[in-house]
Structure 1
């Protein structure tokens, strides 16, 4: 099978297309013929080992100290079940599925195996594989984090980094929960944030949101560019802070900060559950949750996809087309696609 392989840490040029042996499903595993995946911020961090302060040792244990432990990146996939191992129930060859692979990666290849009990669910029938792949990373991450807080209708929510994969998902899910959403992003992404459900947008290039007097029931930080001391005053009593990106101090001190402030502080690893992914897929199947796609690249242009993600300017998701996807049926949901430069699609 074809796969995008990296054998050393570094820039986009370290990722190259190679031929690898096709995996076989073991007991309890599902073999997926991958049609599409994404290049996410997690792929960037794994490839470069550019991680938040204090997490270098922890991530090196997971990713490898001197050479990559997992040679194929890609945390999410959309594809077709090719084969199932013994004792697999609920999936059979031919099923169209989406899956979150998490820290074991492997999505940037024509085939990958997934445990049936992991974050694996049916693909929305009204979407192409490329569109469905764009649901996974941001959607399941935002859903998992929001499930840890109680959002009453009318709650006020601030999303810092509202134009990224997790941010665009968080804005939509908070809006669907009946919240009043304030999005922090750059001015060119203002229309996008409003279209996803944001009631107000703060242009971070003109206004420092941490200096405003407004307070919120929930602050979701998808960027990690503000300290806890800057964010804590923005949270109402009994409110919550969700740090999608946090350094070691933030992870270690989350519980003590919660006790000290009386505010729920959530930081650290996300547990990916099939139920959360299925919830996102159900919302997408009815058009209530929309995947946001910035650019689409063919697998052969994987290095270019990584190079674009490295700019830090992607909006929503950068999709990698592993195998061409057929067009969806007439009841397809509306997908938000940022205009794609034709030269990057092959």
Structure 2
């Protein structure tokens, strides 16, 4: 089978397409024919081994490989079809259209992937293409996780910093579905797209600093790792909630102090990416409450361009790779 491979850390140019051995499912595993997979910022960070949150460096080196990657196929979020499964699996039927998460096993940037049936994998919404389904798990699961922690009430105000990325796009829509008034921060090129999915107010961070606007919010959802902790917390209303999707170690320590000694609450608990959450997102998709936004789809041979697109921060939605661009898929 074909796969996008990287044998060393570096620029997008280290990515190549190779033929590798097709996996065989164990008794508790499913073999999935991958139809589409998202290229995420995490994929780019693992490929380059450059992470904005520096305290991850040593544990990630141990997990991913000290001098070169242990797992040479990236990709954690995918859609596809059940090709076969082991004798212990009763959850799926051959031919089921599915989407989900491969966790730290990665491997979704290949034509086939084997995963335990217990992983967060569910049947695909019928009103989504494979590309749109692959764009859902990362952003949707993380946004739903954090916004549930905030316990948003109808009519409350929320500010989402970094709203134009995979998590932010679903954050805007889920917050609107919860009844919030949504203000977003990102670059100007993303304003039209973000307003089209429900953003009420927009700040272009290249032209103005929202932390100096004098505005306050019930909830702030911060997805940008390099942000100033105190500047954002100071924008919270009494009893406000601060959600940190990409916390630095200092942010974690400060969040404990904020929650313990003030009337505000700061949360950085990482998403578990659970099946119940993915089923909730599926239902929201089917009911038309949220939708997937795909920026551009690339072939495996264009993988380097896909990574560059993600790193450029110019994308207007998810960047997808798939084995063949001309495939017609249900």
Answer whether TM exceeds 0.5 for this pair.
Answer: yes
CA distance in 2, matches of 1:266, 1:230: 16
Aligned to 1:24: 24
1:251/1:268 contact within 8 Å kept: no
Deviations 1:54-80 (A, max 9, x none): 221122122222111221101101000
Q: Give the Cα–Cα distance (whole angstroms) in 1 for the partners of residues 39 and 295 of structure 2.
A: 11
In structure 2, the CA distance between the partners of 1:104 and 1:262, relative to structure 1 (3 Å rule), is: farther
Task: Report SS of the residue matched to 1:30.
Answer: strand
Please give the secondary structure, in 2, of the residue aligned with 1:283: helix
The RMSD of aligned alpha carbons is: 1.6
Alpha-carbon separation, structure 2, partners of 1:22 and 1:30: 13
For 2:253 and 2:85, the matched residues in 1 are separated by 40
Shift of 1:21: 0.9
What is the distance in 2 between the residues matched to 1:246 and 1:322?
A: 34
* Matched length: 328
**3-state SS, counterpart of residue 305 of structure 1:** helix
On the 8 A contact 1:55/1:248 being kept in 2, the answer is no
What is aligned with 1:244?
Answer: 245
Match of 2:174 in 1: 173
Q: Do 2:189 and 2:314's aligned partners in 1 also have CA atoms closer than 8 Å?
A: no
* Alignment pair present for 1:55 and 2:86: no
TM-aligned CA deviation for residue 268 of structure 1:
5.1
Instruction: Sort the Cα spacing of 1:27 and 1:196 in 2 relative to 1 into closer, same or farther, 3 A.
Output: same
Partner of 2:158: 157
In structure 2, what is the equivalent of residue 336 of structure 1? Answer: none
SS of the equivalent of 1:147 reads: helix
1:216 counterpart residue number: 217
Distance 1:66 1:269, change over 3 A: farther
Distance 1:325 1:261, change over 3 A: farther
Check whether the contact 1:54–1:249 (CA below 8 A) recurs between aligned residues.
no
Alpha-carbon separation, structure 2, partners of 1:23 and 1:250: 41
Alignment partner, residue 299 of structure 2: 298
Is contact 1:38-1:76 (8 Å) kept? yes
Q: C-alpha separation between the residues in 1 aligned to 2:32 and 2:262?
A: 46
Match of 2:124 in 1: 123
Equivalent residue runs for 1:1-346 within 5 Å: 1-51=1-51, 52-267=53-268, 269-323=270-324, 325-326=327-328
Please, which moves more after superposition, 164-173 or 265-274?
265-274
Which consecutive unaligned segments of at least 5 residues does structure 1 have? 329-346
Give the TM-score of the pair, scaled to structure 1.
Answer: 0.90
Spell out, residue by residue over 1:107-151, the C-alpha distance to the aligned partner (whole angstroms, 9 max, x if none): 100111222222111111122211211112111111122222211
Rounded Cα–Cα distance in structure 1 between residues aligned with 2:234 and 2:64: 36
Identify unmatched segments of 5+ residues in structure 2. Answer: none
Q: CA deviation at 1:287?
A: 2.6
